[in-house]
């Protein structure tokens, strides 16, 4: 494993902020005037709008020509590393986004559909959604899926809502107001549980890398509404007692929700339903090859057993022979977590990706993710200053491993943020560190998945090694990184202070003026 480091430099365009661009009177887009017959019949727009409601001053938007608008945003795109490098962004399972499906999604048969169209006119979409629902059922053992949740967190929220409805139907909701999760669960689990009105109990990890059965037992009670847990967790550790967990929670009368965001390493190996879970979620923008868009549009496909079916949000697709219709949720349904059927075009992409992979491809992807992760681990542990989270736990990790650069930091004062600022100088995308709270110091969490070649993985390792070596030999080089990006690193000013933050140009103009005074 000796990857030569690339000479890399980001494109630098020194691009002004759009609010500073343009010239009064320039136009980027015309709308036609209303037709003569329309004008004659109706008059001008201002006649039609109550005068108190007419806009008084023009919005201060830039005035630019069409080519200039395009070029501006093209420049910005080039100034975005954006997975043009090697992105081993852990917990996000970077995937290949097949251009076939991205192109298809721009087709009017997907792009120009209104959600309230007559089902007659959406048979293609409905058939795909129905078939994909069946495919996810096969992958999870669940009986139903909804695609309404617009992200993984929204699926967690959906579960909290379903949990409310389930216990309410039993008259137990007032009593069952606690949701149990672990400190290694994604923050969205406790956050959505709270937003849904529950109290959250968070279990801490034991030496073996997951909370103990005893801790769980002392947390469950007649107040337990649900368990929300992921497995493996972001350290790559699979909790082998998970069936027992489910049993314990079920016994206490709670529901069990499997946050299957980390599905890539275990797909085709285990199924949530067979482990006893009542519900689970898959992130289609993650495991199923849908483009991430820098943070959505996304889909948290939420699946559940027959027992929870009536609580699902939104309209359900019903198959009648070759014809598909939509049925409103019944009186038990949680209603809506978002409007309509969800990010439909993303579901279609996920369906296509899954068809391209097939059962065999999915199994192989899981194998490769885990194989490559453990290969990486072996190599990374040779990097100076890097240790594995829970170093004493024996055995292979699943599809990702959390590491710590705590030693590097102690030895050199270089933080993991410095390290990632420096890594991008070699043309690799910044790695994921860890969700809050950091339970290992200076965490870093690469995940290779199945789309990165061994050469790319070797390159990534070589970059991390290089940067860590630099930290020892020339710590300022790393601390002042990046050096090859469009701009330098963010300055020390805290953006949590009202006088510093400026979420819009107009706020910035005002505050900068104030500061100058």
Partner 1 sequence: MPAHPRAHPFMPNSVPAIKAELMAALGIDSVDELFAQIPQDHRLDRPLELPPALTSEAALSRHMRSLLGRNRSCADNLSFLGGGCWHHYVPAVCDEIARRTEFLTPVWGTPSSDLGRNQAWFEFTSQLGELLDLELVALPVYSWGCAAGHAIRMASRLTDRRKILLPRYLDPERRAVIETYCEPAEMPSHLEIVEVNGDPETGRLSLDDLRTRLDGETAAIYFENPSYLGQIESDAAEIAALARRHGAETVVGVDPVSLGVLAPPAAYGADIVVGSIQPLGIHMYGGGGLGGFIASRDEPAYAHEYPALMVSIAETTHEEHIFSLALMHQCSYGSREAAKDWTGNSTYLYAIVAAAYMTLLGPEGFRELGSLIVQRSRYAASLLDGIDGITIRFRDGFFKEFVANFDDTGRTVAEINKTLLDRGIFGGIDLSARFPDLGQSALYCVTEVHEQQDLDRLAAALREVCTR
Tokens of 243: 């069936």
Question: Which does residue 341 touch among a second copy, partner 1, ligand PLP, none (CB within 5 to 8 A, set by kind)?
Answer: partner 1
> Cis omega (within 30 of 0) on the bond before 232?
yes
Tokens of 357: 């992979």
Confirm or reject binding of residue 151 to ligand PLP (CB under 6 A): yes
Confirm or reject binding of residue 70 to a second copy (CB under 8 A): yes
Question: Which does residue 262 touch among ligand PLP, a second copy, partner 1, none (CB within 5 to 8 A, set by kind)?
Answer: ligand PLP
Strand partners, 149: none
Q: Which is nearer to partner 1, 197 or 384 (CB)?
A: 197
Instruction: Tell me how far apart the 2 most distant CA atoms of the chain are, in Å.
Output: 82
The Cα–Cα gap between 179 and 167 comes to: 12
Cα 228 to chain centroid, rounded: 17
The Cα–Cα gap between 341 and 427 comes to: 39
| Window 396-435: residues binding a second copy (CB under 8 A) | 427
DSSP classification of residue 19: G
Q: Which is nearer to a second copy, 98 or 141 (CB)?
A: 98
Q: Which is nearer to a second copy, 24 or 321 (CB)?
A: 24
**224-230 and 323-327 beta bridge pairing:** unpaired
Q: Which residue from 30, 22, 33, 29 is spatially nearest to 60, judged by alpha carbons?
A: 22
Confirm or reject binding of residue 320 to partner 1 (CB under 8 A): no
| Window 444-473: residues binding a second copy (CB under 8 A) | 451, 453-455
Interior/surface letters 65-103, b for 16+ CB within 10 angstroms, e for the rest: eeebbeebeebeebbebebebbbbbbbbbbbebbeebee
DSSP 313-343: -S-EEEEETTEEEEE---TTS---SSSTT--
Among 6, 9, 170, 194, binds partner 1 (CB under 8 A): 194
Q: Is 171 exposed, middle or buried (0-12, 13-18, 19+ CB in 10 A)?
A: exposed
Confirm or reject binding of residue 255 to partner 1 (CB under 8 A): no
| Window 404-423: residues binding partner 1 (CB under 8 A) | 420-421
* Binding pattern for the stretch 291-310 against ligand PLP, x by CB under 6 A and - elsewhere: -------x-x----------
Residue 216, φ and ψ in degrees, nearest 5: -60, -45
Among 3, 71, 127, 175, binds a second copy (CB under 8 A): 71
The Cα–Cα gap between 218 and 146 comes to: 33
Q: Which helix (H) or strand (E) holds 161?
A: helix 152-169
Find the shortest distance in angstroms from Cβ 87 to ligand PLP: 14
Question: Which does residue 9 touch among ligand PLP, partner 1, a second copy, none (CB within 5 to 8 A, set by kind)?
Answer: a second copy
Confirm or reject binding of residue 359 to a second copy (CB under 8 A): no
Q: Which is nearer to ligand PLP, 186 or 349 (CB)?
A: 186
Confirm or reject binding of residue 29 to partner 1 (CB under 8 A): yes
Question: Which does residue 230 touch among ligand PLP, partner 1, a second copy, none (CB within 5 to 8 A, set by kind)?
Answer: ligand PLP
Helix axes 152-169, 188-195, angle to 10 degrees: 40
Inter-residue contact 486 to 10 (CB < 8 Å): yes
Confirm or reject binding of residue 38 to a second copy (CB under 8 A): no
DSSP 238-255: --TTHHHHHHHHHHTT-E
* Binding pattern for the stretch 90-109 against ligand PLP, x by CB under 6 A and - elsewhere: -xx-----------------
Confirm or reject binding of residue 11 to a second copy (CB under 8 A): yes
- Count residues contacting a second copy (CB under 8 A)? 29
Among 9, 38, 381, 391, binds partner 1 (CB under 8 A): 38
| Window 209-238: residues binding ligand PLP (CB under 6 A) | 230
Among 212, 319, 325, 361, binds partner 1 (CB under 8 A): 361
- Count residues contacting ligand PLP (CB under 6 A)? 14
Confirm or reject binding of residue 207 to partner 1 (CB under 8 A): no
Inter-residue contact 81 to 429 (CB < 8 Å): yes
What is the C-alpha R_g of the chain?
26
Among 1, 3, 8, 480, binds a second copy (CB under 8 A): 8
Confirm or reject binding of residue 192 to ligand PLP (CB under 6 A): no
Residues making contact with a second copy (CB under 8 A): 6-14, 23, 65-68, 70-71, 74-75, 78, 84, 96, 98-99, 427, 451, 453-455, 484
């Amino acid at each position: 494993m000796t990857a030569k480091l690339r000479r890399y430099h980001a494109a630098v365009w020194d691009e002004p902020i759009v609010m500073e661009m343009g010239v009064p009177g320039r136009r980027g887009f015309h709308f036609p005037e209303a037709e003569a017959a329309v004008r004659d019949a109706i008059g001008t727009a201002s006649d039609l709008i109550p005068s108190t409601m007419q806009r008084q001053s023009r919005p201060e938007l830039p005035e630019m020509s069409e080519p200039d608008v395009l070029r501006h945003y093209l420049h910005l795109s080039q100034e975005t590393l954006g997975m043009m490098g090697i992105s081993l962004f852990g917990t996000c399972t970077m995937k290949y986004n097949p251009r076939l499906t991205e192109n298809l999604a721009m087709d009017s048969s997907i792009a120009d559909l209104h959600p309230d169209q007559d089902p007659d006119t959406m048979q293609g979409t409905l058939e795909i959604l129905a078939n994909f629902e069946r495919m996810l059922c096969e992958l999870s053992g669940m009986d139903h899926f909804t695609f309404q949740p617009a992200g993984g967190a929204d699926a967690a929220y959906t579960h909290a809502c379903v949990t409310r409805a389930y216990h309410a139907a039993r008259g137990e909701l007032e009593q069952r107001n606690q949701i149990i999760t672990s400190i290694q669960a994604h923050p969205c689990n406790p956050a959505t549980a709270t937003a849904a009105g529950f109290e959250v109990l968070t279990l801490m990890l034991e030496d073996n890398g997951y909370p103990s059965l005893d801790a769980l037992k002392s947390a469950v009670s007649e107040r337990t509404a649900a368990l929300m847990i992921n497995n493996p967790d972001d350290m790559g550790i699979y909790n082998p007692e998970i069936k027992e967990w489910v049993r314990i929670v079920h016994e206490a009368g709670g529901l069990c929700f499997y946050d299957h965001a980390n599905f890539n390493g275990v797909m085709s190996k285990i199924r949530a339903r067979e482990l006893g879970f009542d519900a689970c979620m898959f992130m289609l923008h993650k495991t199923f090859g849908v483009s991430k868009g820098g943070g959505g549009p996304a889909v948290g496909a939420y699946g559940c057993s027959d027992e929870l079916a009536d609580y699902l949000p939104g309209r359900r697709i019903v198959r009648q022979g070759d014809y598909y219709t939509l049925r409103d949720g019944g009186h038990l349904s949680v209603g809506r977590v978002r409007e309509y059927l969800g990010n439909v075009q993303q579901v279609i992409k996920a369906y296509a990706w899954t068809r391209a992979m097939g059962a065999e491809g999915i199994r192989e992807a899981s194998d490769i993710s885990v194989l490559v992760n453990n290969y990486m681990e072996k190599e990374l542990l040779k990097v100076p200053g890097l240790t594995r989270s829970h170093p004493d736990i024996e055995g292979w990790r699943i599809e990702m491993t959390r590491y710590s650069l705590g030693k590097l930091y102690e030895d050199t004062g270089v933080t993991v943020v410095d390290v990632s600022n420096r890594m991008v100088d070699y043309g690799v995308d910044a790695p994921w560190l860890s969700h809050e709270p950091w339970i290992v110091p200076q965490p870093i969490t690469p995940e290779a998945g199945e789309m990165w070649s061994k050469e790319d993985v070797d390159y990534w390792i070589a970059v991390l090694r290089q940067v860590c070596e630099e930290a020892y030999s020339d710590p300022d080089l790393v601390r002042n990184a990046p050096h090859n990006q469009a701009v330098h690193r963010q300055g020390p000013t805290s953006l949590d202070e009202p006088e510093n933050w400026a979420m819009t140009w107009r706020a910035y103009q005002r505050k900068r003026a104030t500061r100058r005074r």
